[in-house]
Structure formats: C-alpha cells, structure tokens
Amino acid sequence: MKREHRAKRIAAILALAMTLVFAMAVTAFGAETALTIESTTPKDGDTGMAIENMGVKVFFSEPVYDKDNAPGNIGKCSMKDENGKKVPTQVIFSEDDPNVMLVLADPNNVNTNIEGKTKYTLTIEEGFTAASGNELAKTETVSFTTLNPRNSMIVSMGMMVAMIGGMLFFGMRDTKKKAEEEKNGKKKASYESVNPYKEAKRTGKSVEEIVAEDQKKKEKFEAKEAKEEAKEAAKRARHEKEEDDSENSNLRVPRPRPISEAGSTYKAPKN
C-alpha cells in the first residue's frame, strides 16, 4: 500500500515537472519569435522635429517587407496630434531595407496640416505582422514634438548676423593688412646660409673657405637689401611730401586785385 502511494506521488511530481517545462518552453519560444521594435528616429520624447517632411523611421527586429502583409500593416499604423486629430500618412516599406518602415505625414493630402511646437504620436497596433508571420505582441507608440517656428527663425537670423559680421570683420582685416603691406613695401627677405660641411663635401673646398664665401655673400645680400629699403623709404618720403604740398597749395585769394597792381598801364575806354 505504501509502495503504491509512493508511486502515485512520484508520478504526480513528474507530471507537474513536465507541465512546467512545457509551459516554460512555450513561453521562451513565443518570446524568441515575437516581432519587436528595436529603435525609432526620432526617439520617443524627442523635441525639435522639423515640420517639413515630418515622419518616423521604425527599425524592427526582423524583416517586415512583404507584399501580402503590407495592406494589413498599413492599417495598423496611425498618427495623431496632441488633440487627437488624425494626421494623413504614407507608410513606406523598402525591399532594399526590409527591417525598416517609414511613416510620413502625407504632403499630397489637403488635410495634412503640421503645426509647430505640437506633440504628435505614432501608434503601431498589436498584431503588426513581419514577413515571417511573427506579430507585434503589444501596441507601441512613439511621441515627439515639432520645432517652434519662432525659435527656428531667431536661430536662423542669429546665424545670418554672425555670418555677415564675420565676413565684414575678415574683409576689413584683409584690407587693412594689404594697406599696411603696400605702405611698408615688400616684406624683407632673409638670407639663408649654406651648410658648410655639406657644401665642402660637394665642392671639395675646405670648411673655412665655404664659411668665408658664405659670409661675403651674406654681406653683399644685406647691403643690397639695405639699398632697396633706403629707396623705398625715399619713395615714401617723396610721396608724403607731395601730399603735404598738394594740401598747402590750395590757398584762397583774400580779395580781387586790379591789373594795375601787376604793372599794367591798360585803361578801359570811357563811354
């Protein structure tokens, strides 16, 4: 009797264990095969969405491109504003990127009116089906807020002012730089000495001879540069003197003078 009772207990325990294992296996299999959304662009809660070409790009865990499933899946996608008003949409699938779906506000629909600083929500309903037949286990939503047009205009104007200011600043700086270069003449050239060891090896001369020759060339070069600089200085001085003489030559005549003061004996005829 005891053996029979023990056998029944063991059989009941084994049956319970098998039931649990089967249930867990079914659950695990369902979790592995369920269609899921991996990411979206924009993300849920994002702000600053552009009004033009507003839409959401959805990335799934497996391919959803399927001609047979497309009509039903399109019907499970909807977009509404914060007041619950439905937005006309276009749902687009791609054979080249089968894991992706794009939901756009339909620009060709006269009822499409996207407003700034407004919250919009995309809803993808439970039962959305992948190409394999796996379904979305629960309804998913993605909410985002469009850009405030006033802020966008302020930012654009600020960028424009900064750009114009930068152009004026750099333009004036370049003009001033060129004027200074013209005033001061050409930039003074510098003499580059030779490497005496390399030159001695190349020519067969001694290092002392190379150094002496290089020193003479340097002195000749500096004398030439000094002469050129003196010419430029003299030229600037003449130019400044001509400008001063031109300013001083603009004298005013204090009063009209008769020709007799200049020694003339001419007399006007009497009427």
Report in angstroms the alpha-carbon separations of 46 from 42, 118, 120, 145, 241: 6, 12, 11, 6, 71
Report in angstroms the alpha-carbon separations of 98 from 60, 64, 67, 263, 264: 9, 6, 11, 111, 110
Residue 2 has pLDDT above 60, yes or no: no
- Give mean pLDDT, residues 40-51: 93
Which burial class, exposed, middle or buried, applies to 252 when counting CB atoms under 10 A from its CB (0-12, 13-18, 19+)?
A: exposed
Comparing CA positions, the residue from 78, 68, 79 lying closest to residue 129 is 68
- Tell me the pLDDT band of 160, cut-offs 50, 70 and 90: confident
- What local confidence, expressed as pLDDT, does residue 28 receive? 44
Q: How far apart are CA 14 and CA 70, in angstroms?
A: 46
Number of H helices, E strands in the chain: 5, 8
DSSP class of residue 253 equals P
- Tell me the pLDDT band of 47, cut-offs 50, 70 and 90: very high
- What local confidence, expressed as pLDDT, does residue 254 receive? 54
Identify which has the larger pLDDT, 22 or 64: 64
Residue 149 has pLDDT above 50, yes or no: yes
Phi, psi angles (nearest 5°) of residue 40: -140, 155
Give the 3-state secondary structure of residue 95.
coil
Q: 96-110 pLDDT, tens per residue?
A: 999 999 999 999 999
- Model-wide pTM > 0.75: no
Which tokens belong to 141? 């939503």
Residue with tokens 């959805």: 58
Q: 28-37 pLDDT, tens per residue?
A: 444 457 999 9
- What local confidence, expressed as pLDDT, does residue 223 receive? 85
Poorest-pLDDT segment among 46-60, 145-159, 211-225, 242-256: 242-256
- What local confidence, expressed as pLDDT, does residue 76 receive? 96
